[in-house]
Chain A
Amino acid sequence: MDLNENKSTISPEEFEKIILEFKDSIYRFSLRMCRNPGDAEEILQETFLSAFRNFHKFRGDASIKTWLFTIAANACRMKRRKLKKDSRNTSLWNPKDMRDNEGEYLKISNDDPGMEDALTREQLVSAVIESIGLLSPIYRETIVLRDMEGLSTRESAHALGLTERALKTRLARARAMVRKKVGYLLETQNAL
């Protein structure tokens, strides 16, 4: 099936193929934006049910993937508005997990150089994910779509309803903020 074909009808069987292809990307995007697995599962369901229900509105001027991210991004924004005052909304990645008693990010010391590399990389990934999670949503959504889910500049801009220029500006700021937060960890990497 050509997923970019402009179709006004779709059967449940055809739509299941779309779900299978994009479910993980949409789930991860929702998880990064909501920072809560339960909310991400809700967004995942809402996104695909809305897309199925409104498939006749898909005009084909963007890819199915971009269209799904547009729906998911809007659902995340609505969810955030609802949860704004909900103090129970907690982070999936607890910053305390990566810090010592004085609040400093942990630095691994291990006699086995191979193990040190592996642990440091794992910690680095956690630190990067945490830093992205701490960005304000307008910056977070750009870096998640562009750098984590691998959408092009055009696709990311389309999904978020931005011009490409605005997307690039936000992305540059988002990347700079994350680099600033984890830069000292990046400096410890021999891979640089």
Chain B
Amino acid sequence: MPCDHPDCKKLLLALSSYLDGELDNPEQFAILKKHLDSCPDCKTVEDQMRYLLKICRSACTEKAPDKVLQLLKAKIRSKKFSRTVKI
């Protein structure tokens, strides 16, 4: 659960950009960092978010079915598609 910091909700919205290293406003960066260092609840949110991003990045395992690939190759080489496309 987020803490009772008056700007907590706002800070947590900024957390997303903070985690991406894309929080451009130095003042906002400093406030958020200071808050995360002193608030265990928000620190937990940060940790969970970091772990969540790791999970997301490791979840991409599906491959395009081979049958679709063969179909695509056949189509682009077919009479209808095989001519070189020009402006």
A residues whose Cβ falls under 8 Å from a Cβ of B:
8-12, 15-16, 19, 23-28, 31, 37, 41, 44-45, 48-49, 52-56, 124-125, 128-129, 132, 143, 147-150, 153, 168-169, 171-173, 175-176, 178-179, 182-183, 186-187, 189, 191-192
Contact = CB atoms under 8 A, between A and B. Distances in A.
Interface of B: 12-17, 20, 22, 44-45, 47-49, 51-53, 55-60, 62-65, 68-69, 71-73, 75-77, 81-82, 84-87
Contact of A172 (B15, B52, B63, B84): B15
Contact of B85 (A9, A129, A178, A192): A9
Going nearest first, the 8 A-B pairs with the smallest beta carbon separation are: A172-B16, A27-B64, A147-B56, A23-B64, A186-B48, A56-B87, A12-B76, A192-B47
Interface secondary structure of B, over-half rule: helix
B52 A148 contact: no
Contact of B20 (A12, A15, A153): A153
Contacts of A148: 56-57, 59-60
Interface secondary structure of A, over-half rule: helix
Contacts of B77: 12
9 contacts: A9-B84, A11-B84, A12-B76, A19-B72, A44-B68, A169-B13, A179-B52, A187-B44, A192-B44
B77 to A, nearest CB: 5
A24 B8 CA distance: 39
Given A48-B72, A172-B15, A149 B60 contact: yes
A192 B76 CA distance: 48
Contacts of B49: 175, 179
Contact of B81 (A28, A49, A143, A171): A49
Given A143-B56, A148-B57, A175-B52, A52 B85 contact: yes
A60 to B, nearest CB: 13
B56 A168 contact: no
Nearest to A125: B59
A44 B1 CA distance: 40
